[in-house]
Structures are given as C-alpha cells and as structure tokens.
Structure 1
Amino acid sequence: MENSSAPSSPIAELVARARAAQRIYETWSQAQVDTAVVAAGWAIIEPARNRELAELAVADTGVGNAPDKVRKNHRKTFGLLRDLQGARSVGVIGEDPARGIVEIARPVGVVCAVTPSTNPGATPANKIINALKGRNAVIVAPSPKGWSTAARLIEFIHAQFDRIGAPRDLVQLLPSPVNKQSTAELMRLCDLVVATGSQANVRAAYASGTPAFGVGAGNVAGIVDETADVNAAADRILLSKTFDNATSCSSENSLVVVDAVRAQMLSALKDRGALMLAAAQKATLQSLMWPGGKLSPAVIGQSARVIAERAAALDGANREGWLAIAARNPRILMVAEDGVGHEHPFSGEKLSPVLAIYSARDFDEAAATVARIYAYEGAGHSVGLHSTVPERALTLGLTLPVSRVIVDQAHCIATGGSFDNGLPFSLSMGCGTWGKNNFSDNMNYRHYLNITRVSRPIPERVPSEDDIFGAFFAEYGAG
C-alpha cells in the first residue's frame, strides 16, 4: 500500500502527507472514525456554509442554480450520514459461525477522488465521507471549474477536523491549475481511484494502473404506459428534469409515452410549464446544442429560458419567436423525436432541461425504444417507469441493460438514494459491464474497504454424487 520511494514532485508530496495521516487514522476506533465522518458532513450541511458553497459553485462553473445545489448538498450528505450511522467499518464487521468466516474491515489507503464541475460540492463531500468511513485518506482531483468550490469545502472540513483532533492531511486537494497530467500522476500514485464525471476521466482512471471505480454515461429514458397516473407522472418528471437545471446524470433525457395517454401526458406536462417546440425550432435548438457534433457548454446546466434566449441570438429570422418563448419562462423545452443515434442527437444526453418525446403503440414497443436509445448511449444506468402494473418493472429489469429500474418516482432524486426508497445515497452510480464499469450498484462506503476474511475449520460437508448429478443423469443419462 505504501510507496517507499522518496517524493519527487508536488503531487508525490501530497500523497506522502496523506499516507502519514492515514497511518495515524488507521489506529482510530469506530467511535472516533464516526466522529470524523459526522464532522466532515457538518462541514457542508451547516446552512451558511452550504449556501456559500452552492453560490460559489454556480458563480464559478456557470452550471445549475444555487437553491437546488443547497438542497442537493444537504439532502445527499444528510442521507449518506443516515446510511453510515451504525455501519461497522473498523475491525470485525461480520461473522458467520456456520461457515467459520469472520470479516475484518481494512482501509484501502489513499483515495484519489475525481469529481465533476456539475456537482463541485456534493460529489467531493460524498466521496470524502465514504473514504473517511473506511479509515482512508483522500485527495480530491476536481474539474478546473470546480476547484474553488472544492477548496472551500476542504477548508471547512479542516476547520471541523481541528475541533476533533483529526489530521488535516487526511483530506487534501490537487493544486490549481488542475490538468490531465497532474490528475494522471495522482491517480497513478494513490491506492484507489473513484472517478465521476466525463467518460474521458473514467477511461483515464481505468487506464491509470491503479484499481479504479468509474461510472458510465448517463442518458436516462423514462416510460409512461397506458395505466399511469399522468398527473402524478408529470409532477415527478418535471421535478426531476428541472432540478439543478438537469445537470444530474439521472435526469430524464427521453420520455417514451404510450399512444393511449400521449395527449393527456403532453397536456399535463404543458400545464406544469413544459413547452413543445415546432420542427423549425427543434432544428435551431439542435444547432445551438451540438455545434460541430459535440454538446455545447452554452446549454449545459442552463435554464430553459436562458437556452431560448441563446437560440434567439442564433436564429435571427425567428428571433422574436424565441424571445416570446423565453418570456414565458418555460420550465423545460420538449422536442418530438423518433430517431436514435448520431444523426438524431436529441436521443443522447443533454445535461439541460430539454426532453425528447418518443411515442410507442404499447409497453412492449416503449421498452424496445428504450433499448434502441441505450444501444446508442446510456446503457447500464437506469430506466424510469410510470405504471400501475408491477410486472412491467420486473420485465424491464430482466430485459433492459440497466442497473436500476425507478418506479413512480422523480428519477434524478430517487436514483442516487432517497429517504423514501432503499437505494444507498450516492452521487456515483455504477453501470455494470453494460456501461463499461466494474460495479453496478450505488457507490458506498464498502467500495472504500479492503475486507480480510478469517477462515476456521467447520464440520466437513461433502455431497454425494447423486446430490450433484442425480437430476441431470435422470434427465439426460450418464453418457
């Protein structure tokens, strides 16, 4: 776990200091560790600090909105602290006398936490707290735009550490200016990399030579079937799609509506502030969002009103029409879509309050449409379902390449854990091998642990040949 060579760079010096602090922290009791965890949580949850971090995040990244970031910082951190309360992560954490197995929690060492600009406060806090729960040190490698928010967060954490006597070097920050080279060096020198953000960052983490957890691409689709309560579904979808200007990888990007309720569903969405664009407006919006084929920062994390204003500046011939849309202050913009793939960019992730609407004859066709979308982008993440037929959720879980099926919930609120569902609170969702990840659950404190198993002898249990092969031989013979 420890590199014996002398530090030869500023990054190596950071890691050396982290290792020294981690050696001290590794001797702490469960009660002491839990105090450090709560201290780090309080660093971001305290209302004045939370507000400062949220406002700084928006000011520096230009992404999302401060009120929702305040809610996210609080809710995701408070929920994580609830999940961790009483969880054992020091010493013996599990015993199975029948199997003669004892499980012992051990730290992984120094964690490199790669974090995105979309959540420059909440995501580092989540990773720091989970790492601390496992008696690890952690060094945050933020996006360049998110650096100042992460720096302020860590200042707050250090102040709380001073109160409890914890080493400050348990939590550190990659120095500014952050770049690919410094992040790559940090990933190489640490013991575990946990990467959230762009697929380029995730691929770099996997290629670093250090054990790594990375997340797959978002591009969530939701299904509204003919049995759904369309008003309740519209409420949930609008909440999910507008939260923090749809910066979450768990916000719906496409909605597949069964024909029998399409009119009612679109009406319910319209009543709540969604606006369906005409074909010409859709073409202008596509030009704004994907100049040169790549999603533009001009729309990422912006409100629907701002996006309409920027479309007006782009489309001189229809400027007044776009300004009229902006004046209505829509909550989301909708476009009708039926294609999938590079020639139909609205079928991909948009990171903005723009929603593609697909139609399907029935539930089976809706599921097939989602499968087409995920064959293009988003495989492994999750799918939403608004339905009163319980079996349909199981059908999606058995057939679609998804790690989560979110039923009758606001998707971006529910996917990363919620107080009214059983998923762990997290901002890093594994997407399994479908999303080129090595895990498919919500990242949690157990991912930051090594587990040593003590094995003791138990009474021998040897099956007979008939126990193993009897049914097979009876059916097919012993040939």
Structure 2
Amino acid sequence: MNKHDELAHVEAIMARSRIAQKAYESGATQERYDRAAQAAAWAIMEPSRNRALAELAVKTTGLGNVPDKITKNHRKTLGLMRDIKGVRTQGVLSDDPAMGITEIARPVGVVGAVVPSTNPAATPANNIINALKCGNSVVIAPSPKGVASCELLITFIHTEFDKIGLDHDLVQMIPAPGSKAKTQAMMELSDRVICTGSQNNVQRAQTCGTPAVAVGAGNVTVIVDESADLKAAAQKITASKTFDNATSCSSENSIIVVEAVFDEFIAALAAEGGALVDNEAGIVARLWPDGHLNRSVIAQDADKMIEALGLAGRVPDNTKFLLVETKGIGPEYPLSGEKLSRVAALYRARDYDDARAIAERILTYQGAGHSIGIHTAKDARAVALGETMPSCRVIVNQAHTFATGGAFTNGMPFSLSMGCGSWGGNAIDENLHWKHFIQTTKVIREIAPNEPAVEDVFADYWAEAGK
C-alpha cells in the first residue's frame, strides 16, 4: 500500500468513527454509555484475556514482565471503573435557578489516542473506557511494538460489544505498519487528541491543529529525610522501582538521602534487594553504549539487566535493582535522567535543605511538573515542597509508581497519564481522567441584575493606596 492509499485508509477509519459516534450519541442514555464502558473494561479485566494481553505485550515489546502487567491491567482498570461509577456524563448535569444556568453534558466527538509501548493494553483501555463513558468514539494509534497488543485488546472489546449491540466502529485503531504520517492524519481528523508517550509524540500532538491533551516526561526523584521510617521507605521504594521492570513514568529514577541516615538507609535497601554499585562510569558506558538507552537493560528482569551491565557475580544473589551513587545533574550526567530500568541514581545530601536543592536541580533538568516523592515524618516538609517545587504532585510516604497514577489507598484518580502543567509544557496539571473526554453546553437565562457599586469593589484598595 503506497502512502496515498495508507492515508486514504486512515481517512476512511476516521469517517466510520465519526458516523458511529453520531449514532452512539443520538438518543443516548447514561445507561448506554455506562454499559459501553463496562464492556471495554471487562474485555481487559476478564482473567484469561488479561493474561493473554500481558503475555503478548511482553513478547512483542520486550518490556516489563507478565505478572506485573496482569496486576496493572486489573488494578488500573478496576480503579478507573470505581472512579467513574455513578458519574453523570449524559444529559443535564446541573440546573441553577438562581444563576439561570442549566449545564448539559456533551461528547467531544472522535477521540484520537496516541499510546506508548510501555503499557500497550492498559493505556489504550483507559482511554477507550473514558471515551465511551463520555459518549465518544475513539481511534487508537499504538506504537509500532504495541500494535499486536492493541489489536488483541480491540478484538476482545468488539466481542463484548456484540453482546450489547454496539457498533465495532466506536473503537478502532490505525492498522500496522504504524507511521508518523498515519498518526498525524489521525490526529488532524480527530476532535480531541489524547497523547501519552515520547516527548516527540507529545510535541507532534500539541502542534497538530486539533485540541490536544498531552502529558509530560517523568523523571521521579524521591527524598528520604532523617525522620523517615527507613525500613518502610526501603520496602516501598523497592516495590515501586521493580514493578513491571520500571516501565512506568512514575518509577523512582533518583533517590536523595540525607547524610544522617545514609548508611542506615542503604543497609535497609540492601535487605530489600537494592545493591549499591560504585562504578558510575562503567554503568553509564553500558547503559548508554551509543548515546541511547541499552535495549538489553531497559525494562528487563533483574538477572538480564545485571548480565547486560556486566555485573553478573559482582552483586548479591538477591539483587532486584541497582543504586549508583553520583553527584552530577544535567545532560552530561545521564544517570540524573529517566532510565526506564531497574537502575536508580543515588545522591547523598548534607541535610534536608541540600536534599531539596538537589531535587529541584534534577526536576529542572528533566521531569519538571510530573511528581516528586518524600519519605518523612514531617508533613510540613511535604506541604513546603508543594508550595515551591516545579511539580504537580508530591507523593508522601508511598510507593511512587502505585501512588502517582491513583491507588486504593489515596485519593488520586486512577490513570496512566499524568499532566505536568506549565512546568512540563502541558495544558493539564492533573491525572488524565473522564473530565478530559467531555465538554458541556450551558443554557443561560436572564436573572435579576447583580451589579456592584464601584465603592464596593475598591473601598479597601482606596483606603490603602488612595484614589
């Protein structure tokens, strides 16, 4: 198929999506939208399908591990369904007689979703469920390595659609082989673009001419201060760092430990499987052999990572991830950036103020807006971070990977896409969720005048500054 035919194929897919969306919205009820969302959710959560998707994802992308992908597919989808249960996304949302305004929920139309290979089933499912819940159709543009998983997911969704009489064209994907041209055409023909993935994709989404909700890069740094429960912090950081082989943008990339508890905390990490290695130059050379991350290391099981880094037999048998002590921050010190592997940079801080300064330098270099973590008994420090750091989230005493994108033990909405605000070049500063898949129409009626006197507005200013 030549380029012209490929783009014509994309145009046909988008046209079918638009027809399906109009029919889906016509005469819609909340029950219709809810059933469609449930169908898409069950398509990935049904245990045998979940396993099939997880196994295929690892096989075709080479990233992560099957048990953790099963857990991710289940928990992220279950949490999302909890979040949207009972949420009104169709019809009249509110009616305020005093203000004369009635607010009505409306779909955005055709959603074009660009999704990454790190979560080739969970992220598309999240976008599809949110889109259907709000009355939209959706077309997925998977990464090249994520095509097979996306195809299987959509097959499962269509099987569920057949049970409740929904049109397959409500959920489609750009077929293989993927290309920037086809993804660009999809984005330009959508009514809203949702983009999760590389910053190159984010940039393309935000300049495609269609309103886009895109998310920034992760490079999570975590502070461990002198008041922290060191054993609990070590357990949480280890569980988070190793989950799905560190594929998550919320995986800890840098750990900053204050001097007063440094040795004790390193011992606590060692007990959990965190091995401290002191050959920074050697690790960097093997992790970035040609200036790019080594595919034999990123998102691999611990034994494969250790072998690829030349550390077989040189670290304890129970090693789950590596700690590499460094002082450098910035492009000349790649350990200070995102590593997508079971490798964490380790920074030794003189005291808490120094730790905070190091964290700010790291985020300013990479990952601004995404999130920062702190393990502390002093909650005021967490609040102060929220007031001063270039970060939309401060995760307190939690396993970062599980907490940032929503957990059953915190109040964040379940998501696989974290908005990073102006710091990360994003339009949103919250977790992507159903509110980003809907728009509203307001019916405005005349009410009694509510015009203040000029004195009511400026009296206190005049008293201080004069007229």
Does residue 164 of structure 2 align to residue 164 of structure 1? yes
Q: Distance in 2 between matches of 1:183 and 1:477?
A: 59
Deviation at 1:457, TM superposition (A): 2.4
- 3-state SS of 2:197 partner: coil
- Separation (CA, whole Å) in 1 of partners of 2:411 and 2:95: 24
User: Residue 402 of structure 2 aligns with which residue?
Assistant: 413
Say if 2:296 and 2:304, in contact at 8 Å, map to a contact too.
no
Aligned to 1:264: 264
CA contact (8 A) 1:303 1:352 kept: no
Q: Using the TM superposition, give the Cα deviation of residue 8 of structure 1 relative to its aligned residue in structure 2, in angstroms.
A: 7.3
Q: Which residue of 2 aligns with 1:471?
A: 460
Q: Corresponding residue for 1:183?
A: 183
Q: Aligned partners of 2:97 and 2:242: how far apart in 1?
A: 50
The answer (yes or no) to whether the contact 1:115–1:124 under 8 Å persists in 2 is yes
Q: Report the CA distance between 1:52 and its aligned residue.
A: 0.4
Matching residue within 300, 303, 306 for 2:301? 303
Q: How many residues align?
A: 461
- Between the aligned partners of 1:455 and 1:21, the Cα distance in structure 2 is 30
Deviates more, 1:87-96 or 1:150-159: 87-96
Query: Displaced runs of 4+ in structure 1, greater than 6 A?
Result: none
* Residue of structure 1 aligned with 2:289, choices 288, 291, 305: 291
Deviation at 1:440, TM superposition (A): 0.5
Shift of residue 268, structure 1, vs aligned partner: 0.5
1:58 is matched with: 58
Residue in 2 aligned with 1:403? 392
| Contact map agreement 2:298 2:305 (CA 8 A) in 1 | no
Deviation at 1:339, TM superposition (A): 1.1
2:203 paired with 1:203? yes
Match of 1:88 in 2: 88
1:126 maps to 126
2:431 to 442, 446, 453: 442
Instruction: Tell me how far apart the structure 2 counterparts of residues 219 and 477 of structure 1 sit (CA, whole Å).
Output: 50
1-structure distance, mates of 2:9, 2:377: 57
Alignment of 1:31-430 (within 5 A): 31-279=31-279, 282-312=280-310, 322-325=311-314, 328-430=317-419
Query: Contact between 1:305 and 1:329, CA under 8 Å: does it hold in 2?
Result: no
Alpha-carbon separation, structure 1, partners of 2:33 and 2:86:
11
- Whether the 8 Å contact between 1:309 and 1:326 is mirrored in structure 2 is no
Letter of the structure 2 residue corresponding to residue 477 of structure 1? G
Distance 1:308 1:91 in 2: 56
**Is the Cα–Cα contact under 8 Å of residues 304 and 354 in structure 1 kept in the other structure?**
no
2:16 maps to 1:17: yes
What's the offset of the Cα at 1:337? Answer: 1.2
1:300 aligned counterpart, secondary structure: coil
- Whole-angstrom distance in 2 between the partners of 1:423 and 1:53: 26
Looking at structure 1, the residues matched to 257 and 57 of structure 2 have their Cα atoms a distance apart, in angstroms, of 35
Out of 444, 448, 451, which is 1:462 matched to? 451
How far the C-alpha of 1:172 sits from its partner, in A, is: 0.4
Contact preservation (8 Å) 1:306, 1:326:
no
How much has 1:20 moved relative to structure 2? 1.0
Shift of 1:463: 2.1
Amino acid at match of 1:288: R
Give structure 1 stretches of 5+ with no counterpart.
1-6, 313-321
Q: In the TM superposition, what is the alpha-carbon distance from 1:54 to its structure 2 partner? A: 0.2
Q: Which amino acid aligns with 1:122?
A: A
User: What is the SS of the residue equivalent to 2:323?
Assistant: strand
Mapped to 1, the partners of 2:15 and 2:275 lie a distance apart of 54
Q: CA deviation at 1:341?
A: 0.5
Residues of 2 paired with 1:112 and 1:136: CA distance?
Answer: 10
Helix, strand or coil: the match of 1:262?
helix
The one-letter code of the counterpart of 2:140 is V
Contact 1:340–1:372 (8 Å) recurs in 2: yes
- Give secondary structure in 2 for the equivalent of 1:9: helix
The one-letter code sitting in structure 1 at the alignment partner of 2:398 is Q
TM-score scaled by length of structure 2: 0.97
Post-superposition CA distance 1:389-416 (Å, at most 9, x none)? 1111110011001111111111010100
Following the alignment from structure 1 to structure 2, what is the Cα–Cα distance between the partners of residues 387 and 467?
46
**Amino acid of the residue matched to residue 466 of structure 1?**
E
Distance in structure 1 (CA, Å) of the matches to 2:65 and 2:44: 17
Question: For residue 295 of structure 1, what is the amino acid of its counterpart?
Answer: L
| Pair 273,98 (structure 1): closer, same or farther in 2 beyond 3 Å | same
CA distance in 1, matches of 2:46, 2:245: 24
Question: Does the 8 Å contact 1:305/1:325 carry over to 2?
Answer: no
Name the amino acid aligned to 1:18. Answer: S
TM-superposed CA distance for 1:32, in Å, is 1.3
Identical-residue share of aligned pairs (%): 53
Give the whole-Å Cα distance in 2 for the aligned partners of 1:113 and 1:173: 9
Q: Partners in 2 of 1:96 and 1:417 — Cα distance?
A: 32
State the AA in 2 paired with 1:306.
K
The CA deviation at 1:310 is 1.2
Q: Which moved more, 1:61-70 or 1:303-312?
A: 303-312
